[in-house]
Amino acid sequence: MKKITILFILISVTYFSQCPNPTITSWAMTGTTADFGGTNDPSIISYEIQYNEGSTFTPGTPAPAGVQTFTFTSFPSSITGLSVATDYYFTIRSICASDTGSWYDSGNNGPDLWTTTADCPDAIPYFNDFETISCWPFGPPWHTNNGNPGNYWYYTADNTGNTFAGSDSWTQNQGALSPDCWVVFGPIDMTGITDANLAWEVRGVDPAWCQENYTIYFGNDYNISSLENSTYFFNETIASGGDACGSNWAERSFAISGYSHNEGYIALRHHGVSDMFQIHFDNLEMTSTVSTSEIESIDMDIYPNPTNNVLNIKSDSKYIGNNYYVFDNSGKIVLTGLITSNLTILNTENLSEGIYLLSSEDNIKRKFIILR
């Protein structure tokens, strides 16, 4: 009887996905979005992005704890709801009918790092609450000092976490100072706007030494020599015992009329004072204004204002069929639609708290505020 030897050969097979990698042609970050473009491939039925805030990760199925997943079917597309001035890590893969592609990133060495921009105000309505440090201007000519060496406007916060701009006329280490400190914000898009109102909050912190002197300028150039000669300015020496003397904030404003430039700049100047303590500024706000006669002829109103989730547009019949647009504080269109009746209802529940501008095709503008 013959002995038969049967040899079993184990063959190792490595599987390679046939689903092609996505072809990405552009990737850009704004203050709250990641916007990406690419070449659509008919063999790919969808794309999956995994992303994480603040730290890298190893992608997987399912996504690791805390990692977000975004799926879309074609380019271009956007991820919304991101935080301003924040690091995010992204990786992407293709999904085909028969299989799923490998995770794809630049260099294939792990998720790519992208950072959202600072969503700094640059249009009317303008609002600066000093909450975003990356929007604070550093270095001349935006941030200068013509007084004591080393004495500048600064970006700071109180014990509640509220941030604001401050400047000193006395410190424990240096004693009495004679400040001439400037900080300039802008440019602000003023296209089509001739009349506006500039408002802010101010305080001289120490009630016993609150008589700080300051000037706010508005002009069409960021250079302080030009701003100092602007016809649009407001000057005040805080009165002892007045509403701006001490820890409470006081509101101030002045009107700008007949402005004829497409850009504008706001400058804060702390000067003409010595041996007091500190001056603080917060909530710089600039809005366009309309005369009473113009308002009466517009026949359009919005309410409630401030609002939370719903805004009503009450308008004359002649505006039915016009488009409306809602702009955020950076000038970006965040909502649009059609005025369909004398009462049009806008759903604002997906908009963040802040100041917005409603504009119609007829260039009618209404500011409103969302508070929750």
Question: Which whole number is the average pLDDT over 39-46?
Answer: 95
What pLDDT does residue 132 have? 76
**Domain chopping of the chain, boundaries:** 23-115, 126-288, 297-370
Q: Could you list the beta-strand ranges (E) of 54-100.
A: 68-72, 77-79, 87-96
**pLDDT above 70 (res 10):** no
**What are the tokens at 104?**
């794809």
Question: Which whole number is the average pLDDT over 72-99?
Answer: 91
User: In this predicted model, what pLDDT tens digit does every residue of 322-353 receive, in sequence order?
Assistant: 888 888 766 678 888 888 888 888 998 888 88
What pLDDT does residue 181 have? 94
CB 128 within 8 A of CB 198: no
**pLDDT above 50 (res 273):** yes
What percentage of the chain has pLDDT greater than the value 90?
47
> In Å, what is the CA distance from 362 to each residue of 312, 317, 318, 324, 356?
18, 14, 11, 9, 18
CB 103 within 8 A of CB 80: no
User: In this predicted model, what pLDDT tens digit does every residue of 198-238 receive, in sequence order?
Assistant: 999 999 999 999 999 999 999 999 889 899 999 999 999 99
CATH architecture of the domain covering 23-115? Sandwich (2.60)
Q: Could you tell me the pLDDT band of residue 50, with boundaries at 50, 70 and 90? A: very high
Q: Which stretch of 182-186, 188-192, 357-361, 363-367 has the lowest confidence by average pLDDT?
A: 363-367
Q: Could you tell me the pLDDT band of residue 32, with boundaries at 50, 70 and 90? A: confident
User: In this predicted model, what pLDDT tens digit does every residue of 277-334 receive, in sequence order?
Assistant: 999 999 999 988 754 344 444 567 888 888 888 888 888 888 888 888 888 766 678 8
Domain 23-115 shares a fold with domain 297-370: yes
The C-alpha atoms of residue 199 and residue 187 are separated, in whole angstroms, by: 17
Q: Is 108 helix (H, G, I), strand (E, B) or coil?
A: helix
Q: Which CATH class is domain 297-370?
A: mainly beta
How far apart are the two ends of the chain, measured CA to CA in Å? 92
Question: What's the one-letter identity of residue 324?
Answer: Y
Say which residues have a Cβ less than 8 Å from residue 290's Cβ, sequence separation at least 6.
Answer: 195, 298, 365
Q: Is 135 helix (H, G, I), strand (E, B) or coil?
A: helix
In whole numbers, what is the pLDDT of the chain averaged over residues?
85
134 DSSP 8-state letter: G
* Cα–Cα nearest to 267, from 227, 207, 318, 319: 227
**pLDDT above 70 (res 7):** no
**pLDDT above 70 (res 16):** no
The C-alpha atoms of residue 35 and residue 28 are separated, in whole angstroms, by: 5
Q: Which residues pair with 196 in a beta bridge?
A: 256, 288
**In what helix (H) or strand (E) does residue 292 lie, and over which residues does it extend?**
helix 292-298
In CATH, which of 1.10.3210.10, 2.60.120.200, 2.30.110.10, 3.60.15.10 is domain 126-288? 2.60.120.200
Q: What's the sign of the alpha-carbon dihedral 182, 188, 190, 196?
A: negative
Q: Which stretch of 66-80, 125-139, 152-166, 309-323 has the lowest confidence by average pLDDT?
A: 125-139
Burial of 19 (0-12, 13-18, 19+ CB in 10 A): buried
What percentage of the chain has pLDDT greater than the value 70?
88
**What are the tokens at 345?**
């209802």
Q: Is 226 helix (H, G, I), strand (E, B) or coil?
A: helix
